[in-house]
Amino acid sequence: MTDFAARRAQMVERQLRRRGIEDERVLAAMEAVPRERFVPARARHRAYADSALPIGAEQTISQPWIVAAICQALELGGSERVLEIGTGSGYSTAVLARLAAEVVSVERHEELARGAREALAGLGIANVELRVGDGSLGVPERAPFGAIAVHASAPEAPPALVEQLADGGRLVVPIAADSVDALTVLRRRGDRVEAESLGPCRFVPLIGEEGF
């Protein structure tokens, strides 16, 4: 086992399983995806730190627990088409790609999207469609989505994303508040949308027509 592989295994046990991540598919995906391939070379020694890390363009790669918590809340079975808002480094995209049939990911920074494409291609991940644009508007022509993950805080759940959610689908989004964001899951049940807070978190703001 390589040093990075050993650190991934420790991350899963110490940072995830012990802190309430119980979905075995999520835990397996987190252990399988090499996080060190998605961080800048200068930060590679901190790839499995229990914290967010800068990736350029004033953006960050979320701490492992946040990525796992979002994936667990999406309750993916493996057959879904997932919409991801905020590709960033592509790390969470790679995790989602192991949990769903297809991932459509939107990033507003061209340079981050380019790096994410290279990292995903380097790992042979082929079930991802990566776009550059305003993620707050989603990708209506590919809707409906069985699950939607938003990696930036919004003043409310963007209506366009709620509209693109399939019946029975889950949308996980950080809702901005004065002191701390609230990681929130919304579930569509016919014409009703039920919201549940998963706990406090901290994200960069969602920039776009239906964000900030």
For the annotated catalytic residues, the residue numbers are: 62
97: Cβ–Cβ under 8 A, 6 or more apart, which residues? Answer: 103, 120, 125, 127, 128
What is the chain's percent helix, strand, coil content, to nearest 5? 40, 30, 35
Residue 37 · residue 119 · CB < 8 Å: yes
Q: Which of 48, 73, 72 is nearest to 61 (CA)?
A: 48
Nearest-angstrom CA–CA distance, 56 and 58 = 5
Cα–Cα distance for residue pair 69/148, rounded to 1 Å: 13
Q: Which amino acid is at 34?
A: P
User: Is the CB of residue 164 less than 8 Å from the CB of residue 144?
Assistant: yes
Amino acid type, 164: Q
Q: Which two tokens stand for residue 82?
A: 């997932």
* One-letter amino acid of 130: L
Q: Are 35 and 45 in contact (CB under 8 A)?
A: no
